[in-house]
Amino acid sequence: MITRLTVLFDDGCRLCRTAKSWLAGRAQIVPLEFVAAGSDEARRRYPALDPADTLADITVVADDGGVYTGDAAWLVCLWALDGYRGLAARLAQPHLRPVARRVAQSAGSLRGRSGPIEPPPAWPGSPDRYRQDCGDSCGT
SS3 readout for 27-93: CECCCEEEEECCCHHHHHHCCCCCHHHHHHCCEEEECCCEEEEHHHHHHHHHHHECCCHHHHHHHCC
Residue 137 covered by a domain: no
Residue 115 covered by a domain: yes
Give residue 133's pLDDT.
Answer: 44
Residue 139 covered by a domain: no
Residue 105 covered by a domain: yes
> Number of folded domains in the chain?
1
Residue 69 covered by a domain: yes
Residue 136 covered by a domain: no
Residue 140 covered by a domain: no
Task: For residue range 84-122, list pLDDT tens digits in order.
Answer: 999 889 988 988 888 777 776 666 555 554 444 444 444
Residue 11 covered by a domain: yes
Does residue 136 register a pLDDT over 90? Answer: no
Average pLDDT, the chain: 81
Domain that holds residue 26: 5-130
